[in-house]
Structure 1
Amino acid sequence: MASPLSPARLRSSDLLRLGGTGLRARPLRAVLSSLGIAIGIAAMTAVVGISSSSQADLDRALAALGTNMLTVTPGETMMGKSATLPDTSVSMIRRVAPVLSATATGAVDDAHVYRTDKIPQAQTGGLAVMAAELGLLKTVGASLADGTWLNAATARYPAVVLGWDAARRLGNVPAVYMLGRWWTVVGVLNHVPLAPELDSAALVGWQAAGAYLGFDGHPTTVYARAVDAQVEAVRAVLGPTANPQNPNEVKVSRPSDALAAQRATNATFTALLLGLGAVALLVGGIGVANTMVISVLERRAEIGLRRSLGATKGQVRTQFVAESLLLSLLGGAAGVLLGYLVTGFYSATQDWPTVVPLWALGGGVAATVVIGAIAGLYPAIRAARLAPTEALAAA
């Protein structure tokens, strides 16, 4: 007795060709359907990208306000006297994992800065002299208006960098006079919004301050930058870290209010982006479903003929699902590319950084494929249920 015939299985390459043939048979409809999906995904990608770029610009502006910067200063002892920070406090703070950078300045109370050696010592002009670590500019976000910053060489010798207000008051001088010695002016700072005390200060190297000005090596202000999400946690440990023996003798600044505003803004942006993305995907899915339903109605004769020639219900279902997936994939890829280009153009006009999250690029294509599969499932099932004689008779 002869064994019953089993239907041939469709390979992946067969499904790809079959789905492509269905789309090529009606190119205008396929293009318009893909265009509808592409516009929806492009709108989602562009909105996500433009919002993310705007958020990146806002984060950059908020970072300039020092949202993640904390300062550590000496407090008072139990006897009401001024405390001091250990000379190891900066190195200890740098060991805290979420701390990105830490640096310090130390007040040199016995030294004053003068334009010439002819000015009476009592006329200090309110200008402070501070020892500064080499990493100060990076941590506090300062920049130079002229000259250079201290380096490993000049920090050991009589070289000084003036704050912008100190330079304005002293005038354009090549050197200043401090504690019986001339100090070469090697640079001038711009205004430092995050550390305004530096504006009216003469900054010298840590080693030079100890060698020439009698500096005791104890920092008076420690500046620390921390990971945004860990600012509060870092603040809680800065006191015990800076002065383990007497943590109650340490003052730590509170996080900036701008940090709370930044987090609230990020949460709002996230909710907005998710909502817009869901709407765009829903619109794209409806378009795919509509296209595939119409395709089934128009291709009843083809379906009946294929069934008559031995195609199984599963093969018919797979064919229409494959067409739906191809249609969605083409539209999703085109939409992501178009959305990225729109984001780049708009960001360039606004002088923003171009930021398109990877989840928006990859997720846009992946989501359209998933939506396409779901949207094409009902039309595929409907096509598979058509009896060959009914389909041919209706055609």
Structure 2
Amino acid sequence: MTLTNAPRELERRADADPPRKPRPARMRPADVLRVGGSGLRSRPMRVFLSALGIAIGIAAMVGVVGISTSSTEDLDRRLSALGTNLLTVTPGQSFTGGAAHLPAESVGMIGAMDHVDSVSAIGRTSAKVYRNDRTPKQETGGLSVAAARTDLPESVGAEIVDGRWLNAANSRYPSVVLGPKAAEQLGVHEAGPDVRVWLGGRWFTVVGLLAPNQLVPAMDSSALVGWSVAKSELGFDGYPTTIYTRADESSVGDVQAVLGATANPETPSETTVSRPSDALAAKEATDDALSGLLLGLGGVALLVGGVGVANTMVISVLERRSEIGLRRSLGATRGQIRTQFLAEALLLSALGGLGGVLLGIAVTGGYASYQGWPSVVPVWAMAGGVGATLVIGGLAGFYPAVRAARLPPTEALATT
């Protein structure tokens, strides 16, 4: 190619290969975080209040789940210690509608069953117990007097906090063991040979005090005397009113199915068989229903927090129109503007979510410590709390981000 043809050759190449527009620089994840964080740092008080709204909702949800889980864990531990293999047999109603009774031999018949570890019984009496012989007879305090077998603690898991339980020696004499509520109402704080209560028209010596029993709460308000002395001194008929049976853990269902017929073979329909641990489980189910209600309230609080995030981001777009116009005029794309404001919303929600999770853990720990429960916060609850805030933040920040991206540069710069 000669020098004279060089200009024409250059023009031809220029026409064939027009200059390309430079591609806008891509924003790396670190750039997105930096740009989004700078927008939050410019409005600290507004960011704090919006994050607080999110945090309250998440703290409520995590706290409710944590407290419910801690309560369940405490119940599981208590049931594990008390045992879920306790079954009770009580008399129901007779065919004629009157009060039925269990045979006096029912305890022995149940004890002969396979897969039964222990069996004992108590029998209610009509006697009343008072602090002394000068107490008016009508002031019974709702306390009951029951005859108890000497092997009762083994079956019901009763614990003595002071003194001793009834044995073969003292159960034949006027001796009594008081449940914790009965002892409190009678003003008895210790057992001993000089501590007596007025029971059935005569003095009984308090030989022992019981600890609270969660599986058999009726014992807490009872005064328990020996089986033989109840017959001789209190007019007890010898029929057990409640039989307590411990079965093998693996055979509780099988024993429960035939327990009523074994206790009363002639009229098995007049017996009622129950499992005390089921009552504790039912109480826990009631607590779960309340927890569901509180979770709903936490969800409402979280929704309110999301509205706060949306409001913050919309105001941010209005206040930063000049910044948006300047960035667009310098080459920022709509996608980059949209990513910037969406990142701000997500960061704002994440701050509220993390704060709410920490607050919920603190609330759970404090309440569980006050109740004496183990503090348990499931991992899924913490992860779900943060995840929920990100979803709320994404939804709340989507519209402001799109609105910022669609803002024409000339209109945005005209507001400066």
Report the Cα distance in structure 1 between the residues aligned to 2:317 and 2:354, rounded to whole angstroms. 25
Q: Name the SS for the 1:89 alignment partner.
A: coil
Q: Name the SS for the 2:25 alignment partner.
A: coil
Aligned counterpart, 1:190: 210
TM-score (norm 2): 0.56
CA drift of 1:363 comes to 3.3
CA drift of 1:280 comes to 0.7
Kept after mapping to 2: 8 A contact 1:305/1:388: yes
Residue 297 of structure 1 pairs with residue 338 of structure 2? no
Kept after mapping to 1: 8 A contact 2:110/2:263: no
Kept after mapping to 1: 8 A contact 2:58/2:385: yes
Q: Name the SS for the 1:386 alignment partner.
A: coil
Radius of gyration: which is bigger? 2
Runs of 4+ in structure 1 off by over 6 angstroms are: 53-60, 62-68, 158-163, 245-248
Aligned counterpart, 2:245: 222
Aligned counterpart, 2:27: 10
**5+ residue gaps, structure 1:** 92-102, 108-125, 150-157, 174-186, 203-219, 228-233
Amino acid at match of 2:326: L
Report the Cα distance in structure 2 between the residues aligned to 1:159 and 1:10, rounded to whole angstroms. 87
Q: Name the SS for the 2:31 alignment partner.
A: helix
Q: 2:353 aligns with which of 332, 336, 343?
A: 332
Q: 1:253 aligns with which of 273, 292, 296?
A: 273
Residue 144 of structure 1 pairs with residue 160 of structure 2? yes
Alignment of 1:1-395 (within 5 A): 1=17, 5-42=22-59, 45=62, 48=64, 52=68, 69-71=86-88, 84-85=109-110, 87=112, 89-90=114-115, 103-105=117-119, 130=150, 140-146=156-162, 166=175, 190=210, 194=216, 196=219, 199-200=224-225, 221-223=244-246, 237-240=254-257, 249=265, 253-255=273-275, 258=279, 262=283, 265-342=286-363, 344-345=365-366, 351=371, 353=373, 357-358=377-378, 360-395=381-416
The alpha-carbon distance between structure 1 residues 336 and 389, as it changes in their structure 2 partners (threshold 3 A), is same
Kept after mapping to 2: 8 A contact 1:328/1:372: yes
Question: Which is worse superposed, 375-384 or 5-14?
Answer: 5-14
Report the Cα distance in structure 2 between the residues aligned to 1:148 and 1:11, rounded to whole angstroms. 76
Aligned counterpart, 1:118: none
Report the Cα distance in structure 1 between the residues aligned to 2:290 and 2:304, rounded to whole angstroms. 21
Q: Number of residues paired by the alignment?
A: 308
The alpha-carbon distance between structure 1 residues 148 and 5, as it changes in their structure 2 partners (threshold 3 A), is farther
Report the Cα distance in structure 2 between the residues aligned to 1:129 and 1:282, rounded to whole angstroms. 60
Amino acid at match of 1:89: D
The alpha-carbon distance between structure 1 residues 224 and 384, as it changes in their structure 2 partners (threshold 3 A), is farther
**5+ residue gaps, structure 2:** 1-16, 93-102, 122-145, 179-190, 194-206, 228-242
The alpha-carbon distance between structure 1 residues 224 and 272, as it changes in their structure 2 partners (threshold 3 A), is farther
- Identity, % of aligned positions: 49
TM-score (norm 1): 0.59
Kept after mapping to 2: 8 A contact 1:70/1:252: no
Kept after mapping to 1: 8 A contact 2:307/2:396: yes
